[in-house]
Amino acid sequence: MLALENITMRFGGVTALHAMSLHVAEGETLGLVGPNGAGKTTLFNVISGVFPPTEGTLTFNGGPLGKAPIWKRARQGIGRTFQIPQPMHELTVRQNLQVAQRFGTGRSDPARLDEILDLLGLAHKQHEDAASALALTEQKALEVGKALAVEPRLLMLDEVLGGLEMATKRAFSKTLQEVRERYNLTMIVIEHDIETIKALCPRVVVLNFGQLIADGTPEAVFNDPEVVRSYTGEAAA
């Protein structure tokens, strides 16, 4: 479904991604991990069209993405969340989803929004102000909801579980699994919590200093000595 070939991203003299190649199959749930500053969010920004790569090519559903802007990539089926929830101020929860849906699909589908609100546990707050009336967990759910409103085939989750307590993470992880199954999604998940990644992702890739250093099952990756040194700072057991 998604193919990255020799992707390099430079910001002035800083190379945030270096000659990265990565393939994600349709229906796959891929975990993306690494220490802070490894290039994970930069990779999401390149895929979603926030900025084009300095070098390399991206292919989605068999066609090149080229320099397509964010809205075109959304309409091709790429949806994403952001690390810090970004509700649209002075709009209700439902209106946030309506704007996202219009942006990503060019049309209105109230039934789809009803389904998303129910699935994410936000129906009871759909008419409340999104910027002031939501707890952190609900803000995270709204981020997922806005991404789902664009009707993605590829859903990219950028630390959507960050800052949540473990019990809440477990419950939210189950919701994400339901979301994936309901909409038959391919997913890429950035997450620092190893147990969450193990529960969600059969395959994990690890970035460090903008380079892909490991790719495999969670068990293999998290016992790789290079990953242990770069990601946890400890020696493998």
The pLDDT averaged over each successive group of 10 residues in the chain (237 residues) is 98 96 98 95 97 96 92 96 92 98 96 98 98 95 98 97 94 96 97 92 96 96 91 54
State whether residue 212 is helix, strand or coil.
strand
State whether residue 81 is helix, strand or coil.
coil
The pLDDT, as a whole number, for residue 237 is 44
Torsion over CA: 91, 130, 127, 179 (sign)? positive
| Of 16, 21, 23, residue with least CA distance to 1 | 23
Q: Which residues lie below 8 Å from residue 60, measured CB to CB, with a gap of 6+?
A: 1, 2, 3, 73, 76, 77, 78, 154
Here the tokens at position 81 are: 């969340």
pTM above 0.85, yes or no: yes
The pLDDT, as a whole number, for residue 232 is 59
Amino acid letter, residue 136: L
Please report the DSSP string for 173-195 in residue order: HHHHHHHHHHHT-EEEEE-S-HH
